[in-house]
Structure 1
Amino acid sequence: MFITGFPAGMLACNCYVLAPCEGADAIVVDPGQRATAALRRILDEHRLTPAAVLLTHGHIDHIWSAQKVADTYGCPAFIHPADRFMLTDPIKGFGRGLFGGLARMAVGAMFREPRQVVELDRDGDKIELGGITVAVDHTPGHTPGSVVFRVEQGPQQVAFTGDTLFRSSVGRTDLPGGSGRDLLESIVTKLLVLDDDTLVLPGHGDRSTIGTERHTNPFLEGLTP
């Protein structure tokens, strides 16, 4: 399987591209602010055509370019229904600070839903996209509609964790809809049950593995599934 990614925008949100092989249909995960130019270069270089846009949650740094990418390539965007409202109202509920500043930048932009939106309303569901089977785990905490996407890469599992789990950290829970209790429960029941060699591709920062986070992440100390 082909997997690559790059940080996009002011908050360096990781946008990922995965496909069975070069010259095939592809999946785009979290195309954020200013993601389109770098994304186009990857797609052209590897002769890939997006079959779906997957959104780990609705925060603006993750969904900024979702409508443009989905509609340009005529593919659906997948998001949990609890976060769908952010596709058209990304500044709702955000206050001061860096995140709020980014949201306020969006006032001058026109946000609308992609023409095709599919709601990820079934926890544990598996969907077939571009020749890849994607498992969807609902992981509320960072937002009510946060999800983790899992795929198989040979013998190894890969988890796109969005802002639920990072290398040596976890997602913030002080924004509207956040819950520290829900976040830790999601991590314990949906992520710490995975094999140690499961690759973690987070929404920000460097990659990790479940085993590394299980044993070294200070926010997970003492937590067991």
Structure 2
Amino acid sequence: MNWSQLPLGTLQTNCYVLSNSEKECIIFDPGAEGDRLMEWLHANELSPLAVLLTHAHFDHIGAVEDVRNAFHIPVYLHVEEKDWLMNPSLNGSEFFHMGRVSAAPADRILTNEEEIQIGNFQFKLFHTPGHSPGSISYYYERGQAVFSGDVLFRGSIGRTDLPRGSRDQLIESIHRHLLSLPEETIVLPGHGPATSIIEEMESNPFLNGF
């Protein structure tokens, strides 16, 4: 597995690019700076196959249209947030005074915890609400990694004070889906450095003693 982390935008939201030996790639959460992201993709001679969104908060979707229009690829999003891309009041950009963010609807609406195949990339989907109602964690078993969005961070968890957030639901999501993964699984969060399941099991103060 070859993944790259690109912190983008004012909030330094992690966009991840997962690529294979054929130079095909999947883009996770293109949050901002579309020109910079596309320049990086072209410089690395990568051919994107799809955009996978962990959720639709504004700092994770700001460059969706740039990437979708440039490469003519589908955008995947959970049904619970199917209206958020188009609506600045739902995706939060209206309230954070960083400019209104909107995009066209997602091309693929995800409704179940399932497996999806895109090219030769295969992911197990875990619906992990709590930070937002449609948060999805994408488990890439072949690469022993999970793209967790704003659900789980190194030494922390996602904020739950935003609309339709729930701390209890978030903790349940983490324990049910993420901490049940193999201990060596790499956690690739929406902000900050990568971590691992075993590291968070042993040292995350928000999870210990639950």
The bucket for the TM-score relative to the shorter chain is over 0.9
Q: Quick one: distance in 2 between partners of 1:93 and 1:119?
A: 16
Q: Quick one: distance in 1 between partners of 2:155 and 2:96?
A: 24
> Secondary structure of 2:81's partner?
helix
- Specify which of 180, 185, 199 is matched with residue 193 of structure 1: 180
Task: Please say if 1:6 is aligned against 2:2.
Answer: no
- Specify which of 132, 139, 145 is matched with residue 134 of structure 2: 145
- Specify which of 205, 210, 215 is matched with residue 192 of structure 2: 205
Change (3 A) 1:51 1:94: closer
Answer yes or no: is the 8 Å Cα contact 2:150–2:190 preserved in 1. yes
Change (3 A) 1:94 1:112: closer
The alpha carbon displacement at 1:196 in A equals 1.1
Cα deviation 1:176-216 (Å, max 9, x = unaligned): 01011110010010001011110000000000000000000
1:2-151 pair list within 5 angstroms: 2-21=2-21, 23-34=22-33, 36-92=34-90, 94=92, 100-102=96-98, 105-106=99-100, 111-113=102-104, 117-123=107-113, 125-151=114-140
The alpha carbon displacement at 1:158 in A equals 0.3
Quick check: which one's helix share is greater?
1
> Secondary structure of 1:6's partner?
strand
Partner residue in 2 for 1:220: 207
Answer yes or no: is the 8 Å Cα contact 1:19–1:130 preserved in 2. no
Amino acid paired to 1:19: S
Query: Structure 1 unaligned runs (5+)?
Result: none
Answer yes or no: is the 8 Å Cα contact 1:59–1:90 preserved in 2. no
Q: Quick one: distance in 1 between partners of 2:116 and 2:189?
A: 21
Query: Structure 2 unaligned runs (5+)?
Result: none
Q: Quick one: distance in 2 between partners of 1:165 and 1:112?
A: 26
User: TM-score, normalised on structure 2?
Assistant: 0.93
The alpha carbon displacement at 1:153 in A equals 4.2
Answer yes or no: is the 8 Å Cα contact 1:91–1:100 preserved in 2. no
The alpha carbon displacement at 1:136 in A equals 0.9
Answer yes or no: is the 8 Å Cα contact 1:11–1:61 preserved in 2. yes
Q: How many residues align?
A: 210
The alpha carbon displacement at 1:71 in A equals 2.2
The alpha carbon displacement at 1:19 in A equals 1.4
Answer yes or no: is the 8 Å Cα contact 1:164–1:187 preserved in 2. yes
Q: Quick one: distance in 2 between partners of 1:50 and 1:133?
A: 15
Q: Quick one: distance in 1 between partners of 2:49 and 2:71?
A: 8
The alpha carbon displacement at 1:100 in A equals 1.8
The alpha carbon displacement at 1:93 in A equals 7.6
Change (3 A) 1:167 1:46: same
> Secondary structure of 2:70's partner?
helix
Flag as ranges the 4+ runs of structure 1 deviating above 6 A: none
The alpha carbon displacement at 1:130 in A equals 2.9
User: TM-score, normalised on structure 1?
Assistant: 0.88
Change (3 A) 1:180 1:150: same
